[in-house]
Amino acid sequence: MTTKAKLHKEMKNKLDLPEYYGNNLDALWDMLTGYVEMPLKIIIINFNVCKKALGDYAEDLLFVFEQVEKELDDFILIVKNELKDDKTRSQDFCDIFYTDRIDTNSVKWDNLKETFGNEDLIPMWVADMDFESPEAVRIALKERINHNVYGYSIVPESYYKAFINWEEIHHSYKIKKEWIRLASGVVPAIYWFINAFTRPNDSIIILLPVYYPFQNAIKNTNRNLVTCELINDNGYYKIDFDEFERSIVENKVKMFIQSSPHNPVGRVWSMEEQDKILKICKDNGVLVISDEIHQDIILNGHKHIPAATVKDGYYADNIITITSASKTFNLAALNTANMIIESPEIRQEYDDYIKTISTSSVNLMGIIATQAAYNYGEEWLSDLLLVLEDNYKLVKESFNEFLPKIVVSPLEGTYLVWIDLREYVDRENIKEFIEDKCGIGVDYGEWFSPLYKGFIRLNIATRTTLVRYAVQNIIDNINK
């Protein structure tokens, strides 16, 4: 008997379902599985999606699944976490998904000696996570690996459908397939756009402090780097619109590379802020490259607004959006990113450029993993965000209680906490303090802007015990 047939039989025997569901088990099955046939492991991850529809029958259905679990060796009842409170779900997520990454060729864990000269640090620097990717991703990859042939591959329609659905459901961004182009990552895409749409010595502007590969890309392609410092209002960062426009006009800027949500200061830009900055760019003929790779890591009630949707898409013909599932679902090494180009003219210019360089075909495993993540990773992401909110709360409240002059920026988006230690630590000794005394590996403020020596960026996408260890070490060493 098939898995589906077994579940049908158990539901008939155990449940007194309403007439609609009792007589239409196929409809119930489709609702549970997201309208596709998938292994039973995956459908359980989606149980919470239909909890509201099932109402009082949710607990009964859970009972049925538990009965089936006893008969099926490959059955994993992840749904049990959905019936727990947020705190328990957060702890369970860490217990289930945290993984030791030492000796796995991890940049974050195994490259400490080369980067910091000390392999014994607790790594809280590189922006990836210490959590296993969603179960659905691992199942999909294993199934493809077991095929044992890894030749040149095309991008299936199902991939585009998964990405388009995700953007519409989660970000109210209605994308058309013809707008989408693929890249091996956000940073390579930025290099391509710089070369496609600007010329050597053209000016490109960024808001500092910002993800340092932006600066590297501009300098490495022999463009003129123009910077506009964000306004630091006691840890809350704002855009200096007057200075931004002045810099554009004086330097004849051709391109603006935006970080949204902003890495490292943790801002999720509001509709009003984006409207102002996008208008300045449009009025001055500045093409906007919007890096939205952290779009799904949104915390504490904030909402990410894709730049191309601002003012009902008024600025969309002047924007190229880049995003990826890599930050959301911990898939960085699978090298897959999506570029969204709405303007037919810009899209044609990009397509003409890309023909002139040698680019590899798509990453087969990256396509498979991304599609599975977008189709079945929603519940995993929901629990991850609880962990990140708990970890941020731990950082913020601990420093507020024991070292109140430390400024921890509000974390609206990303899993990267921006911390100002200057009131307690001499900025010239920050590296010695963090590494030699506290035993932590971090990204330093001056990597993002020369004005931010004395700041650190702390990656909290790890188990809570490691975050607590890092915070406590800072507190103890300052108080010595």
Task: Please tell me the total count of domains within the chain.
Answer: 3
Confidence at residue 361, expressed as pLDDT on a 0 to 100 scale: 72
Position 24 scores a pLDDT of: 47
Tokens in use for 29? Answer: 């099955």
pLDDT of residue 204 exceeding 70, the answer is: yes
Using a pLDDT cut of 90, give the percent of the chain over it: 78
* Cis status of the peptide bond prior to 450, with omega within 30 of 0: no
Is the bond leading into 209 cis (omega within 30 degrees of zero)? yes
The answer to whether position 320 is within a domain reads yes
Residues 406 and 292 in one domain: no
Domain ends where: 347, 376, 405? 376
Nearest to 247 by CA among 203, 190, 288: 203
Q: 293 and 282 in one domain? A: yes
CA dihedral sign of residues 265, 266, 272, 277 = positive
| Whether residue 303 sits in one domain with residue 391 | no
Same domain, 213 and 115: no
Q: Does residue 465 share a domain with residue 344? A: no
Percent of the chain with pLDDT over 70: 82
Q: Based on the domain organization, do 273 and 353 belong to the same domain?
A: yes
Report yes or no on 190 lying in a domain. yes
Q: What is the pTM of this model?
A: 0.83
CB 44 within 8 A of CB 79: yes
Q: In terms of C-beta density within 10 A (0-12 exposed, 13-18 middle, 19 or more buried), how is residue 100 classed?
A: exposed
Beta bridge partners of 259: 291
| Furthest C-alpha separation in the chain | 76
Kindly indicate the confidence band of residue 362, based on its pLDDT and cuts at 50, 70 and 90: confident
- pLDDT tens-digit map of 281-295: 999 999 999 999 999
Q: Are 411 and 391 in contact (CB under 8 A)?
A: no
| 296 and 247 within one domain | yes
Does 98 map to a domain?
no
Q: Are strands 231-233 and 236-238 parallel, antiparallel or unpaired?
A: antiparallel
> Which domain covers residue 29, as residue numbers?
3-77
Average pLDDT over residues 42-61: 48
Q: Please write the tens of the pLDDT for every residue from 209-265.
A: 999 999 999 999 999 999 999 999 999 999 999 999 999 999 999 999 999 999 999
| End position of a domain, from candidates 322, 342, 376 | 376
Domain CATH number, residue 389? 3.90.1150.10
99 in a domain, yes or no?
Answer: no
Q: What is the chain's Cα-based Rg?
A: 24
- For residues 307 and 158, state if they share a domain: yes
**Residue 161: Cβ within 10 Å count:** 14
Query: What local confidence, expressed as pLDDT, does residue 92 receive?
Result: 85
369 plus 233 within the same structural domain = yes
Does a structural domain hold residue 51? Answer: yes
Would you say residue 87 lies in a domain? Answer: no
237 in the same domain as 371: yes
| 271 and 336 fall within a common domain | yes
| Domain membership flag for residue 94 | no
Looking at 352, 376, 400, which one is the last position of a domain? 376
Q: Using CA atoms, how far apart are residues 231 and 341, in angstroms rounded to an integer?
A: 30
What pLDDT is attached to residue 207? 98
Please tell me whether residues 61 and 191 are part of one structural domain. no
Residue 318: give its domain's CATH number: 3.40.640.10
Write out pLDDT tens, residues 409-452: 999 999 999 999 999 999 999 999 999 999 999 999 999 999 99
Q: Is residue 84 part of a domain?
A: no
Bin 300: left if φ > 0, else alpha if -120 < ψ < 50, else beta: left
